[in-house]
Amino acid sequence: MKEDLVADAPMQHPDADKLVGMEHEKQYDFQLPENYFYRSEKGLDARVIEKISYFKGEPQWMLDFRLKALEIAEKKGPPKWGPDLSGLNFEDIYFYIRPQEKQGTSKSWDDIPEEVRETYRRLGIPEAEQKVLAGVGAQYESEMVYHNLKEEWEKQGVIFLDTDTGLKEHPEIFKEYFATVVPPEDNYYAAVNSAVWSGGSFVYVPAGVDVDVPLQAYFLLNAQQIGQFERTLIIVEPGAKAHYIEGCTAPTYDSDSFHSGVIEIIAKENSNVRYSTIQNWSHNVYNLVTQRAMVYDNASMGWLDGNLGSKVTMKYPSCYLVGNGAHGEVLSIAFAGDGQHQDAGAKVIHAAPNTTSSVVSKSISKGSGTSSYRGLVQIHEGATNAKSNVECDALLLDETSKTNTYPYIEINEKTAHVGHEATVSKLNEEQIFYLQSRGLAEDEAMALIVRGFLEPVAKELPLEYAVELNRLIELEMEGSVG
């Protein structure tokens, strides 16, 4: 099997040097030998699902759930709207790969296999960082292989596990909340995920607990044509506070990859939850993710959604404001380079009185890239005094760059105050000229302006992510002149 894999795994995406700067390529374009003891057959059918469930040793109800989800997916079919997904062929995708490492046993960084650590080093995650970071759940292929949770949290009763272990160790909590926020009926890709999900994070924060250091999970995609279907479930009890950070970056491959996650968050009364993610998949990944939070009375939910990589991304983090005084926030940044289509956005459903929401979207299109904002604001009857504001700014760097804005606003309540604004502009020549007159090279000037454009979102990120984002923007902007 090993020879097999190496034989059909070319080292580099043919357009890699066009897609990203040279340094970027050096840093990310590598592959490590792959050792698996189980990989599903290509394609999706009931047999594959039964095998996944068998290998995971799941309870019967989960297998039934998966099979029902498959039925729903088959009935629904892919959506007719949105970006071109014709390059996505299910027949050609492995829906499950189990790494050799047995999950959940690694307790310290030293226990992590050398090749995985090598991967992290090449990605620029310093070893020292993991000591600072509270707990690192790293997803190597389709399962969590590494977990480190600070002892005090264990004492506080915080659960931070990979989702498979969560199901095994906390079945009662799991069953109560799983698929209640995003049922498989919700959309086609959520149904596919429900059928084949594997890995992801399971977070439970008991009432009143303030998790002051962010919970983080690094994700990796490292086998050709692998399907990555993480399923994250975050439950934050009344009065508790948590910040979850997911960052992903993947080596480049030559055949299309498919990533379709489902993130479910339950933010109970008076809780405060933030979920931050920056995805930087290689430019051949189809990234179709459903992210949704149920927000109860006076709770506050914030999504920070950064989309830099992938070939096509469709991702619309949403807040269902179902409790009186609930607040939802979405900050979205998208960078679409050559050949990329970032179809990002936000959804906010106001279903209770005195709910408020704010959406800020910043997108940049470069070369032949297309970025879209697709959004929905819905105010239900009876959701009195709801307030919502949406702002979308798009920056177009080249003549061939494209941007789209599709905001849907549905209002069923007289006392609602809803606003939406969007602007489209190009890089300001006067600003570039000024910076050049101060001694900056043209591409430096452009990168500086782009970073300034993203500043309102970047400043909401934890420092190390803001630094990483700035570095990525610099790399993307390199060689953009002439």
Partner 1 sequence: MATLTDNPLLSAGALEAVIRKGQDPDWLAEERRAALRTFDATPWPTERDEDWRYTQLQRFAVTNLEPTDGPASREVSERIRMRMEDSDAEGILVHANGETIERVAKIREEGVIFSDLRSAVRDHEDIVREHLYSTVNAHAGKYHALNAAFWQNGTFVYVPKNVEVELPLGAFTTADRGGLSMGRTLIVVEDNAKVTFLDEYTSDSFDGRLFHGAAAEIVLGPGAKVRYLSLQNWGRNVAHMNRLSAKLGRDARLEALTVSVGGDAARAEVHSTMQGPGSESEMLGLYFADKGQHYNQYTLQHHEADHAFSDVLFKGALRDASHAVYSGIIVVDEGAQKTDAYQTNRNLLLDADSEAVSIPQLQIGANDVRCSHGSTTGPVPEDQRFYLMSRGMRPEVAEHLLVTGFLYEVMSRVTLPKAAEYVERVVQAKLGVPGVKEKL
Distance CA 255, CA 224 (A): 7
Q: What are the φ and ψ backbone dihedral angles of 398, each rounded to 5 degrees?
A: -130, 165
* Cβ distance to partner 1 smaller for residue 301 or 396: 396
Distance CA 440, CA 264 (A): 45
Binding test (CB under 8 A) with partner 1, winner from 105, 415, 428, 436: 415
Alpha helix positions (H), 21-162: 22-28, 46-56, 60-76, 114-122, 127-132, 151-156
Binding test (CB under 8 A) with partner 1, winner from 3, 399, 459, 463: 399
185 binds partner 1 (CB under 8 A): no
Binding test (CB under 8 A) with partner 1, winner from 4, 57, 414, 463: 414
- State the sign of the Cα–Cα–Cα–Cα dihedral 424, 430, 434, 435: positive
Using CB under 8 A as the binding rule, the residues of this chain from 420 to 449 that contact partner 1 are 420-426
Binding test (CB under 8 A) with partner 1, winner from 100, 180, 412, 428: 412
- Number of residues in contact with partner 1, rule: CB under 8 A? 36
Distance (Å) of CA 418 to CA 321, 333, 387, 456:
15, 22, 6, 21
Q: How far is the CB of 443 from partner 1 (least distance, A)?
A: 17
Q: Which residues of 392-406 are buried (b: 16+ CB within 10 A; e: fewer)?
A: bbbbbbeeebebbbe
Q: What binding mask, one character per residue, do residues 51-90 give for partner 1 by CB under 8 A, x or -?
A: -----------------------------xx---------
* Cβ distance to partner 1 smaller for residue 201 or 363: 363
Binding test (CB under 8 A) with partner 1, winner from 37, 61, 408, 434: 408
* Cβ distance to partner 1 smaller for residue 81 or 155: 81
- Looking at residue 86, the DSSP 8-state letter turns out to be T
What is the CA 419 to chain-centroid distance, rounded? 27
Q: In 3D, which of 377, 328, 379, 375 has the Cα closest to residue 352?
A: 379
Binding test (CB under 8 A) with partner 1, winner from 9, 149, 173, 411: 411
Report yes or no: 417 and 409 within 8 Å, Cβ to Cβ. Answer: no
Using CB under 8 A as the binding rule, the residues of this chain from 378 to 397 that contact partner 1 are 381-382, 394, 396-397
Distance CA 270, CA 327 (A): 10
* Cβ distance to partner 1 smaller for residue 408 or 433: 408
* Cβ distance to partner 1 smaller for residue 115 or 410: 410
Q: How far is the CB of 193 from partner 1 (least distance, A)?
A: 23
| Interacting residue ranges for partner 1, rule: CB under 8 A | 80-81, 381-382, 394, 396-426
